[in-house]
């Protein structure tokens, strides 16, 4: 059963953050369009905040997938999710935005679990740091 826990943690980490990896890459490819979208919500300094969002999503995703500084990566994604959820997905009159809000809250919960439990045995943290997770 130990292998199930190890593989479950690895696959769970990947599935949890693949959306952020994809989103961060997409933001790079459509930087101006994303900045304009953010400006529609009244955000100031959109280029600055967009650059920060890309860094948080990409660094957070890669560290969680690799299991290297996993807790830091989970924290970066948590920090990213707070303003994203509250600014862009708080229109509960729109059913799609309500779904996006709940999706983000669920991912927030997954990151909290990862933050508290660590990456598991199939991680660089485990192999490089004295087998502590």
Is residue 74 in some structural domain? yes
**Cα-based torsion angle of the residue sequence 101, 103, 108, 112 in order, rounded to the nearest 10 degrees:** 150
Q: Is residue 123 part of a domain?
A: yes
Q: Is residue 87 a part of any domain in this protein?
A: yes
Q: What is the pLDDT of residue 96?
A: 96
Q: Which whole number is the average pLDDT over 52-72?
A: 97
Residue 7 sits in which domain range? 2-128
Position 129 confidence tier, pLDDT thresholds 50, 70, 90: confident
Residue-wise pLDDT for 87-101, tens only, equals: 999 999 999 999 999
Is the pTM value of this prediction over 0.85?
yes
Tokens 């593989």 locate to: 7
Taken in order 109, 111, 115, 121, the sign of the CA dihedral is positive
SS3 state of residue 121: coil
Please state, as a whole number, how many other Cβ atoms lie within 10 Å of the Cβ of residue 65.
22
pLDDT (tens digit per residue) in 49-61 = 999 999 999 999 9
Query: Structural domain tally of the chain?
Result: 1
Total length of the chain: 133
Residue 133 lies in a domain: no
Residue with tokens 């303003």: 83
130: Cβ–Cβ under 8 A, 6 or more apart, which residues? none
């Amino acid at each position: 059963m130990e292998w199930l826990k190890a593989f479950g943690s690895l696959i769970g980490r990947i599935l949890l953050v693949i959306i952020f990896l994809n989103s961060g890459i997409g933001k790079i490819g459509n930087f101006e369009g994303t900045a304009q979208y953010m400006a529609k919500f009244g955000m100031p300094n959109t280029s600055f905040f967009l650059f920060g969002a890309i860094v948080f999503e990409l660094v957070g995703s890669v560290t969680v997938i690799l299991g290297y500084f996993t807790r830091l990566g989970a924290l970066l994604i948590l920090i990213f999710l707070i303003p994203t959820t509250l600014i862009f997905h708080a229109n509960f009159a729109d059913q799609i935005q309500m779904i996006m809000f709940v999706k983000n809250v669920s991912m927030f919960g997954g990151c909290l679990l990862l933050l508290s439990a660590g990456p598991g045995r199939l991680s660089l943290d485990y192999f490089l740091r004295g087998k502590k997770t």
